[in-house]
């Protein structure tokens, strides 16, 4: 039997997918109606989390943050079966994932942090990407079951908190990308260019393919061999901000990046490749 704690959009769809596969699933949520709603799909809902986990060989969590995970696990522990494996899909801090792994091991239980890159529809369809790291023997034993939930499980090795860190890195990029998209749309609006035309640009020119090469460029340290000089990139940033301002659409992300460019130019890097602004992150 599986116990699933946290019936938000992601957790509830994970449960529905498990039920479709014939699993017996106990569910709990702080707001009980969300858990009770899953009884219509075959789950068994409980008012108390310790009751929900009784008899479970596997416990899955999709909660809010470190504090919530810690609080709920403390409430649930009286119902833990010996040898139960706790798999936490919550996006948390890296240090929190490490501390919880060690804490629950000291208490005789197995905690694995396994965050995901997927939305509710992915959870329902069992498609997406799950990240894991930690005790490799434990991961080997649970990976087949985890793969049923997402289709892809990426193992980042023996450190307890690498998966947690990678999830934060991935989410950072998504936030930065969305800010860039928002600024692109704002500049387009200021210039009288439609969102459809901007979509057409990115359908024919996909900069996502440049990411590995850009990381390699930054980590190589060869900034004195520029493909695009920082001073020229800064000029383009100025043009972007000026055009957006003229069109009454000030940008959100580019001004902060321009300020960072200015800092590096003031320190004598105007002739270097513009990726020098990432130097401090790797050197």
- The residue among 127, 158, 189 that closes a domain is 158
Q: Are residues 242 and 181 in the same domain?
A: yes
Mean residue pLDDT of the chain comes to 96
What is residue 18's predicted lDDT score, i.e. its pLDDT? 98
- The residue among 158, 179, 198 that closes a domain is 158
Q: Are residues 13 and 147 in the same domain?
A: yes
pLDDT higher than 90, residue 283: no
Provide Rg for the chain, Cα atoms.
Answer: 23
Q: Are residues 189 and 142 in the same domain?
A: no
Residues 243-280 have pLDDT tens digits of 999 999 999 999 999 999 999 999 999 999 999 999 99
Phi, psi of 90 (to 5 degrees): -70, 140
Q: Are residues 153 and 207 in the same domain?
A: no
Q: For residues 251 and 187, is the Cβ–Cβ distance under 8 A? A: yes
Residue corresponding to tokens 């940008």: 251
Question: In the numeric block, which tokens belong to residue 77?
Answer: 């522990």
- CATH number of the domain residue 200 falls in: 1.10.1040.10
Q: Are residues 111 and 236 in the same domain?
A: no
Q: Are residues 132 and 7 in the same domain?
A: yes
Residues 121-164 have pLDDT tens digits of 999 999 999 999 999 999 999 999 999 999 999 999 999 999 99
Distance CA(29)–CA(151), nearest Å, equals: 26
- What is the β-pairing status of strands 116-117 and 128-132? antiparallel
**Number of structural domains, the chain?**
2
Residues 40-51 have pLDDT tens digits of 999 999 999 999
Q: Are residues 120 and 170 in the same domain?
A: no
- Residue 136's domain comprises 2-158
- The residue among 100, 135, 158 that closes a domain is 158
Q: For residues 58 and 37, is the Cβ–Cβ distance under 8 A? A: no
Mean pLDDT of 82-89: 96
Residues 211-241 have pLDDT tens digits of 999 999 999 989 999 999 999 999 999 999 9
Q: Are residues 121 and 215 in the same domain?
A: no
- CATH number of the domain residue 81 falls in: 3.40.50.720
Q: Are residues 18 and 121 in the same domain?
A: yes
Distance CA(216)–CA(179), nearest Å, equals: 23
Strand order in the sheet with 116-117: 116-117, 128-132, 151-155
Q: Are residues 173 and 154 in the same domain?
A: no
The string of DSSP codes covering the chain is: -EEEE--SHHHHHHHHHHHHTT--EEEE-SSHHHHHGGGGGT-EE-SSHHHHHTT-SEEEE--SSHHHHHHHHHHHGGGPPTT-EEEE-S---HHHHHHHHHHHHHTT-EEEE--EE--HHHHHHT-EEEEE-S-HHHHHHHHHHHHHHHEEEEE--S-TTHHHHHHHHHHHHHHHHHHHHHHHHHHHHHHT--HHHHHHHHHHS-GGGGHHHHHHHHHHT-TTS-SSBHHHHHHHHHHHHHHHHHTT---SSHHHHHHHHHHHHHTT-TTSBGGGGGGGGT-
Going by pLDDT thresholds of 50, 70 and 90, the confidence category of residue 282 is confident
Distance CA(278)–CA(162), nearest Å, equals: 22
Q: Are residues 140 and 198 in the same domain?
A: no
Q: Are residues 154 and 252 in the same domain?
A: no
Residue corresponding to tokens 């340290």: 221
């Amino acid at each position: 039997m599986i116990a699933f704690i946290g019936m938000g959009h992601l957790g509830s769809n994970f449960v529905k997918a498990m039920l479709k596969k014939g699993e017996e699933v106990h569910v709990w949520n702080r707001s009980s109606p969300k858990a009770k709603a899953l009884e219509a799909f075959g789950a068994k809902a409980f008012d108390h989390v310790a009751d929900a986990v009784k008899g479970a060989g596997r416990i899955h969590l999709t909660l809010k943050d470190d504090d919530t995970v810690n609080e709920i696990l403390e409430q649930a522990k009286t119902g833990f079966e010996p040898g139960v494996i706790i798999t936490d899909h919550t996006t948390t801090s890296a240090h929190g994932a490490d501390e919880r792994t060690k804490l629950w091991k000291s208490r005789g239980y197995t905690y694995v942090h396994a965050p995901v890159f997927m939305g509710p529809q992915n959870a329902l369809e069992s498609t997406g990407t799950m990240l894991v790291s930690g005790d490799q023997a434990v991961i080997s034993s649970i990976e087949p079951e985890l793969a049923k939930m997402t289709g892809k499980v990426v193992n980042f090795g023996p450190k307890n908190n690498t998966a947690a860190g990678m999830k934060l890195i991935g989410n950072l990029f998504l936030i930065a990308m969305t800010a860039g998209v928002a600024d692109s749309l704002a500049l387009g609006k200021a210039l009288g260019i439609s969102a459809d035309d901007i979509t057409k640009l990115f359908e024919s020119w996909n900069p996502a393919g440049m990411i590995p090469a850009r990381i390699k460029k930054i980590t190589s340290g060869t900034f004195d061999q520029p493909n695009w000089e920082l001073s020229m990139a800064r000029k383009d940033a100025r043009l972007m901000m000026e055009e957006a301002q003229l069109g009454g659409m000030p940008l959100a992300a580019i001004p902060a990046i321009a300020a960072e460019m200015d800092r590096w130019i003031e320190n004598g890097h105007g002739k270097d490749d513009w990726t020098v602004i990432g130097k401090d992150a790797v050197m």
